[in-house]
Structure 1
């Protein structure tokens, strides 16, 4: 898909961070397709800002595995690589498990209710085949424990690896295979409410582990293509 023709999407006062967020989200949701070339000129016109914050954003996206750059030649949206996605999945699962372990002793009733409310929105989005809303609600659900853990290093790791994994999750939540996460989320909340640290941590890891079969399918498809 060509870069959208709309202009001025990012306010000049926001610059670097918003340029990164807009480009990241466009890659994750498929607006910018795998293999698509990204020219500074097109991105300047689309986002309505200068080249410097765009190049800084592209550098961050490269570190996250979302773009590939050959200096002086090209920058492209990275194809979805099964090995990179597996690495992101294992790290992300471990970080969310750690978040639950660190958050649970101090998790409030209000935070538990926030998780339940997010899961209700998640179920509604899945029922309506609204992938964007499902991903947002899933982020909100898991984000409660991440925020409650108050662990800045954990949050930084997730910010780096989650976008790559979200590309895979769009495939899962657009199919019936994502529906099982609603029940898994409910179990996580119940275990947290019961103060069962080990049970909640294991359930969280298992929830993120449901991506593994999809990664297997992706790996098999890439092997056939090679």
Structure 2
């Protein structure tokens, strides 16, 4: 049980760890570097979904439960995407105050982090002992560049480096809450494990294709981003095979 507390905390706080460099960077990173980070993160999440969450959802249930859970994950993220006010990391919006900007940015990142935290918690509730560690590692690796990008975006909105660092760190904290919700819900209602794993996979796949891949292709770096995406997949596969 303590594993889920440690795993969810470390994966969530990786967002803040990724934001640490902005305290020392003199200049923001270029679009190419940003796109490479986004694509690499998408590759990590893809490998975690396809090699971890979906196979385990099938092992804990059947093809019908997996399909239902995955589609529900996509539908819920679609509803949240359409109803939670937010702006994407690459966009600026004129004529709004600091508080509104921060709220819109935090809303966007929170939307991304909800299924990520859930996937960690549900994974620790599955019968496969190492799945929780695998998904926590994958989410942590994805959160680090996300934290850096969030902090850089905030700095570009004339927010101080210290404030940007703390806001970026706090955006990851929601993952601890959703992770524990996912863990306890599926622990007490064992039949939900398969649905929960597939739900998390569907939500993550939605984010990969709807958000991360388009954002990484928005500045004319499609080819290098594609390679970065593939290397992200390979990186995660190698880690799972080695450890």
Greater relative CO, 1 or 2 (CA 8 Å, sep 6+): 2
Which bracket does the TM-score occupy, shorter chain normalised? 0.3 to 0.5
More helix by proportion, 1 or 2?
A: 2
TM-score scaled by length of structure 2? 0.36
TM-score scaled by length of structure 1? 0.38
